[in-house]
């Protein structure tokens, strides 16, 4: 997306913001110069002004020359010129020291370096001037006190600069304290700057107090009020401001929920009564300053205050990281417990299988014990003719296995003539065999259910592991960008319920928000994508949409390096109206797509049901964020319990990472997948079992990295029944750009080569990797 396209439809304000971002370095340089100038004019105890030196010492390495220039100009053009010489010398010395030691290890410590630089730069010229002018002990103590004051100020300045870089949502208590002290120094610097007899410092103090009250209610108003009152009361004989600003800020915070006007009126009322009661001639000027500041605070857009409030309540990055670690630890515990249950269930299943006798001779043993025990020929049959009698019963079991029942004609003639109770024995043998087969079927069913339960527990454990891995990949949550997007949506009269912005470990951004469903039809998604791309500084694809009855969720992911073009062709068995193969396409999150091909056992309706069920279940699980290994376990267990009949289906998945070109092949009983990489053909094959046949099934995995123009061909078993060397040849010699044409050619050729008299369903899917637009 080029620059011109990204600015289409932008408002004047958005264009101004974009222009400011493009000139950010120049603007920051100007800010440091102006701040250095203002800091140089902050006086305490009448003639001490060390704050310009302190700010220049705390400035960022790339901006300290601008801060030094600003401080020198401030001292030269100071509101009070007393003592300016030592401050100008100190500023020059500071510049020289920072330049000389710019690559040293000291400068890398942003906490220690500012106070040390301040002490050296201000202490040397101050002591030198004090000694040269014959100063006494009091003068030396005053110099040391000023240097200590400047060192403390430089520390707080440095912490304030770091806090601004980190953002509001990452502030700690010490950062807030540093910003309050910086605010006080700013008020002290500007308190003597007057326009038409009004103090600029006091006006700024009142505006800040009211904004803090509106953003943080009582706490914000009281803290900023006390800080502003102390700073304003230090200069001049207006010590009563320490109380009126503090109490006024508290009441402004109390009335803040009622609106900006109510908050400002509360502050005005408190200060008006206090000022009238003081009966000083300057009261009218201070009262006018309060009215002007209150009017300005009311005119400031509510969006600015909401932005501050939003950032305030988002929580710190440390807290977010702590919560993420807590959740991850909990998920690991749950996953371990589920996996332990699966292991225990499997061991029990294996133990019970071993305990099953499986000896069918118990059928005739029990019957013989009941019938033959009381027969008078017992000794003849089971002692003298033991081998012949045993053979009769064993042969009878074979007949019952084949026919399901035993009749008199199935018994040898010699045994018929000598057995006295044969007519009673045959029905009993049939009943015993029927009971035995029913018990064995039940045992197999129970064992199968235990296997299904094992697979389900393992699948859930793998699913939770995958969720934990996804959580790890969310390296950062960009709350500032989310807040900007939310503000932009509000400007469109679209009020999202939630807005989240995450950046994964590959620095790819994902933006997601939910809006009322009726708002979706009023949004031009193409224009919205352009605007949000410019707002976030990223190139996004058109959003994926998920809708419910009341909400629509839009998910924006960064444009990938590659895109795919694909086509599929199917040919069903001529004996059936339904094709036993099924395929589907799953556009995944974070620039990953999956194509699934499933081949049901046999052909016709039953195979179509198995393959369609397999592919659809996989698609739903993948779309829900379930890992492929976990999805396989869950699909396998679903097929095992679908019906009493045998249900088998192969699985063939090609998962393509559109950012890197890496293709992951997952196979369970599937036919080979063919590749053309850099013009050369190859294939990936598997020896794994299809799903729905046994518990504990697993994928065979292979990976390869492709690039623009490379091809992937996925086929069902019917396409390779007569060999597949010809597929490699066709793939290498194909020069077209339409995957659909190649898939049709492969299916037709596979049907033509099938000369063994059998038919099978044939499916071919061709995927071509292309450069992203």
pLDDT score of 95: 86
Other Cβ atoms within 10 Å of 757 Cβ, number: 5
Q: Which residue has the higher pLDDT, 693 or 572?
A: 572
In the block, residue with structure tokens 């390296």: 475
pLDDT band at 393 (very low <50, low <70, confident <90, very high): confident
Give the C-alpha distances (Å, rounded to integers) separating 160 from 7, 183, 449. Answer: 34, 10, 64
Distance (Å, whole) CA 414 – CA 409? 12
| Mean pLDDT of the 340-364 span | 59
Q: What is the DSSP string of 198-257?
A: EEHHHHHHHHHHHHHHHHHHHHHHHHHHHHHHHHHHHSSS-TTHHHHHHHHHHHHHHHGG
Ramachandran quadrant class, 358 (left: phi over 0; alpha: psi -120 to 50; beta: rest): left
Q: Is 700 helix (H, G, I), strand (E, B) or coil?
A: strand
Residue 79 DSSP class: S
| Closest to 203 (Cα-Cα) out of 226, 187, 219 | 187
Q: At what angle do helices 200-234 and 302-313 cross, to 10 degrees?
A: 50
* SS3 readout for 105-134: CHHHCCCCHHHHHHHHHHHHHHHHHHHHCC
pLDDT confidence of residue 766: 94
Tell me the average pLDDT across 458-487. Answer: 69
Residue 575 has pLDDT above 60, yes or no: yes
pLDDT tens-digit readout, 50-109: 888 888 888 887 788 888 888 888 888 875 555 578 888 888 888 888 888 776 666 666
HSE (CB half, 13 Å, CA atoms) of 364? 17
Strands (E), 648-757: 649-657, 662-668, 673-677, 680-684, 700-705, 711-715
Residue 98 is inside which H or E element, if any? helix 84-100
Q: What is the mean pLDDT of residues 517-529?
A: 88
What CA–CA distance (Å, rounded) separates 185 from 43?
A: 9
- Look at residue 591 in the predicted model and tell me its pLDDT: 75
pLDDT for res 751: 87
Distance CA 41, CA 56 (A): 13
Q: Which of 22-31, 218-227, 410-419 has the highest mean pLDDT?
A: 410-419
Higher pLDDT, 760 or 306: 760
669 contacts 691 by C-beta, under 8 angstroms:
yes
pLDDT attached to residue 467: 60
What is the per-residue pLDDT across 695-706, written as a single tens digit (0 to 9) for each? 556 678 888 999
3-state SS string for 552-611: EEEEEEECCCEEEEEEEEEECCCCCCCCCEEEEEEECCCCEEEEEEEEECCCCHHHHHHH
For 742, which DSSP code?
A: H
- Averaged pLDDT score across all residues of the chain: 76
Residue that has been written with the tokens 């209150």 in this structure: 294
**Separation CA 611–CA 618 (nearest Å):** 11
In 10 A of CB 249, how many CB atoms?
32
| Residue 194 pLDDT greater than 60, yes or no | yes
Mean pLDDT of 394-418: 82
Per residue in 750-771, pLDDT (tens digit) is 888 887 667 788 899 999 998 8
pLDDT at 675: 93
258 by Cβ neighbours in 10 Å (0-12 / 13-18 / 19+) ranks as exposed
Of the options 1.10.3470, 3.30.200, 3.30.1450, 2.60.120, the CATH number for the domain spanning 478-557: 3.30.200
CA distance 210 to 260: 8
String of DSSP letters for 363-414: HHHHHHHHHTTT-TTHHIIIIITHHHHHHHHHHHHHHHHHHSS--GGGS-HH
Return the beta strands (E) in 23-108 as ranges.
none
List the one residue out of 615, 345, 580, 579 whose CA is nearest residue 460.
345
Among 182, 255, 177, 160, residue whose Cα is nearest residue 213:
255
Please give the pLDDT value at position 336: 63
C-beta atoms surrounding 436 within 10 Å: 17
Residue 504 main-chain phi, psi, to 5 deg = -85, -175
Q: Provide the pLDDT confidence category of residue 333 given band limits of 50, 70 and 90.
A: low
Angstrom distances, CA of residue 71 to CA of 7, 81, 88, 191: 39, 13, 8, 18
Q: How far is CA 373 from CA 232, 366, 368, 380, 745, in A?
A: 116, 11, 7, 12, 74
Pair of tokens at residue 576 = 């059936």
Q: Using the predicted structure, report yes or no on whether residue 314 has a pLDDT greater than 50.
A: no
Reported confidence tier of residue 8, pLDDT bands at 50, 70, 90:
very low
With a pLDDT cut of 90, the percent of the chain lying above it is 6
Alpha-carbon gap, residue 447 to 453, rounded angstroms? 10
- Spatial neighbors of 606 by CB under 8 A, at least 6 apart, are 580, 600, 645
Q: Please give the DSSP secondary-structure letter assigned to residue 360.
A: T
Contact 552, 517 (CB under 8 A): yes
* Contact between residue 377 and residue 420 where contact means Cβ atoms under 8 Å apart: yes
* Virtual torsion, Cα 87, 91, 92, 93, nearest 10 deg: 90
Mean pLDDT of the 581-598 span: 82
Tens of pLDDT, residue by residue over 144-154, are: 888 888 888 88
Q: What is the pLDDT of residue 238?
A: 63
Cα distances from 483 to residues 63, 106, 260, in angstroms, run 28, 37, 22
In DSSP terms, which residues pair with 544 in a beta bridge? 555
pLDDT at 172: 60
Q: Does the fold of domain 562-771 match that of domain 478-557?
A: no
How is residue 665 annotated by DSSP?
E
CA dihedral of residues 711, 715, 721, 726 (deg, nearest 10): -10
- The 3-state secondary structure of 477-528, one letter per residue: ECHHHHHHHHHHHHHCCCCCCEEEEEEECCCCEEEEEEEEHHHHCCCCHHHH
Summarised one tens digit per residue, pLDDT across range 719-743 is 888 888 899 999 988 988 899 999 9
For the chain, what is the largest distance between any 2 Cα atoms, rounded to a whole number of angstroms?
145
- Dist CA 455 CA 463 (whole Å): 12
CA nearest to 98, candidates 72, 75, 125, 68: 68
Instruction: Please write the tens of the pLDDT for every residue from 427-462.
Output: 888 888 888 887 777 666 656 555 555 665 565 666
> Whole-angstrom Cα distance, residue 731 to residue 189?
77
Spans of all domains in the chain: 21-190, 196-315, 361-442, 478-557, 562-771
Are 159 and 178 a contacting pair, CB within 8 Å?
A: yes
Look at residue 615 and tell me whether its pLDDT is greater than 70.
Answer: yes
Nearest Cα to 44, choosing from 178, 193, 189?
A: 189
Q: How confident is the model at residue 645 (pLDDT cuts 50, 70, 90)?
A: low
pLDDT digits (tens, 9 = 90+) for 10-29: 455 556 655 655 566 788 88
3-class secondary structure, 765:
strand
Shortest CA distance to 590 belongs to which of 560, 565, 618, 614?
Answer: 560
Angle CA(600)–CA(603)–CA(606) in degrees, nearest 5?
A: 65
Find the mean pLDDT for residues 577-596.
Answer: 80
Tokens of 585: 């396409």
Give Cα 561 distance to the centre of its chain: 20
**In this structure, which topology does domain 562-771 adopt according to CATH?**
Phosphatase 2c; domain 1 (3.60.40)
Write the CA distances from 429 to 258, 308, 380, 381, 393, integer angstroms: 92, 87, 21, 17, 9
CB of 681 closer than 8 Å to CB of 732: yes
| Per-residue confidence (pLDDT) for residue 472, from 0 to 100 | 59
| pLDDT above 50 for 307 | yes
For 590, left (φ over 0), alpha (ψ -120 to 50), or beta?
Answer: left
């Amino acid at each position: 997306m080029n620059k011109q396209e990204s600015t289409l439809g932008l408002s004047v304000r958005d264009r101004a913001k974009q222009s400011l971002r493009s000139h950010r370095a120049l603007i920051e340089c100007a800010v440091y110069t102006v701040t250095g100038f203002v800091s140089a004019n902050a006086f305490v105890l009448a003639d001490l002004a060390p704050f310009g030196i302190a700010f220049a010492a705390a400035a960022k390495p790339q901006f300290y020359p601008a801060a030094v220039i600003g401080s020198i100009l401030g001292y030269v053009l100071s509101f009070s010129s007393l003592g300016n010489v030592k401050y100008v010398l100190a500023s020059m010395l500071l510049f020289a020291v920072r330049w000389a030691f710019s690559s040293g290890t000291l400068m890398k410590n942003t906490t220690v370096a500012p106070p040390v630089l301040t002490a050296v730069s201000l202490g040397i010229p101050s002591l030198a001037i004090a000694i040269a002018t014959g100063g006494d002990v009091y003068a030396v103590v005053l110099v040391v006190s000023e240097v200590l004051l400047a060192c403390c100020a430089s520390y707080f300045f440095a912490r304030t600069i770091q806090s601004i870089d980190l953002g509001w949502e990452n502030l700690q208590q010490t950062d807030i304290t540093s910003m309050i002290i910086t605010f006080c120094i700013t008020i002290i610097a500007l308190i003597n700057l007057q326009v038409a007899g009004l103090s600029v410092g006091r006006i700024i103090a009142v505006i800040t107090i009211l904004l803090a009250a509106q953003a943080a209610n009582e706490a914000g108003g009281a803290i900023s009020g006390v800080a502003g009152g102390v700073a304003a009361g230090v200069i001049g004989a207006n010590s009563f401001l320490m109380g009126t600003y503090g109490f006024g800020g508290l009441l402004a915070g109390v009335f803040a929920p009622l609106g900006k006007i109510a908050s400002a009126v509360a502050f005005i009322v408190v200060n008006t009564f206090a000022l009238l009661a003081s009966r000083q001639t300057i009261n009218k000027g201070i009262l006018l300053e309060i009215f002007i500041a209150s009017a300005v605070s009311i005119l400031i857009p509510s969006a600015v205050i909401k932005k501050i409030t939003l950032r305030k309540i988002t929580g710190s990055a440390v807290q977010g990281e702590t919560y993420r670690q807590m959740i991850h630890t909990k998920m690991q515990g749950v996953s371990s417990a589920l996996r332990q249950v699966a292991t225990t269930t499997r061991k029990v299943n294996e133990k019970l299988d071993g305990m099953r006798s499986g000896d069918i001779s118990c059928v005739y043993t029990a019957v013989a014990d009941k019938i033959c025990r009381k027969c008078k020929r017992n000794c003849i049959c089971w002692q003298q003719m033991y081998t012949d009698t045993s053979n009769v019963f064993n042969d009878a079991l074979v007949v019952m296995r084949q026919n399901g029942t035993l009749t008199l004609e199935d018994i040898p003639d010699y045994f018929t003539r000598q057995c006295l109770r044969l007519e009673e024995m045959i029905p009993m043998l049939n009943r015993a065999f029927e009971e035995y087969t029913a018990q064995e079927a039940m045992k197999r069913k129970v064992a199968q259910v235990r296997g299904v339960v094992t697979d389900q527990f393992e699948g859930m454990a793998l699913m939770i592991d995958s969720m934990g891995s996804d959580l790890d990949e969310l390296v950062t949550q960009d709350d500032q960008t989310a807040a900007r997007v939310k503000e932009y949506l509000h400007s469109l009269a679209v009020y999202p319920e939630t807005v989240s912005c995450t950046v994964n470990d590959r620095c790819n951004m994902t933006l997601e928000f939910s809006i009322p469903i009726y708002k979706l039809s009023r949004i031009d998604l193409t224009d919205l994508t352009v605007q949000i791309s410019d707002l976030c500084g990223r190139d996004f694809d058109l959003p994926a949409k998920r809708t419910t009855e009341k909400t629509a969720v839009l998910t924006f992911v960064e444009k990938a390096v590659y895109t795919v073009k694909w086509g599929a062709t199917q040919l069903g068995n001529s004996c059936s109206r339904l094709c036993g193969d099924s395929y589907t396409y799953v556009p995944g999150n974070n620039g990953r797509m999956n194509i699934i091909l499933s081949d049901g056992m046999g052909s016709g309706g039953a195979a179509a049901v198995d393959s369609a069920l397999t592919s659809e279940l996989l698609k739903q699980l993948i779309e829900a964020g379930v890992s492929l290994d976990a999805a396989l376990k869950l699909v396998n267990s679903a097929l095992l319990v679908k019906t009493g009949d045998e249900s088998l289906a192969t699985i063939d998945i090609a998962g393509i990472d559109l950012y890197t070109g890496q293709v992951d092949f997952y196979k369970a009983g599937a036919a080979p997948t063919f590749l053309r990489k850099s013009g050369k053909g190859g294939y990936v094959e598997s020896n794994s079992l299809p799903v729905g046949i046994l518990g504990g099934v697993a994928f065979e995995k292979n990976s390869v990295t492709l690039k623009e123009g490379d091809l992937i061909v996925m086929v069902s078993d019917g396409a390779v029944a007569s060999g597949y060397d010809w597929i490699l040849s066709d793939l290498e010699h194909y020069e077209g750009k339409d995957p659909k044409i190649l898939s049709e050619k492969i299916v037709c050729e596979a049907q033509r080569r099938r000369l063994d008299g059998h038919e099978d369903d044939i499916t071919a899917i061709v995927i071509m990797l292309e450069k992203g637009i």
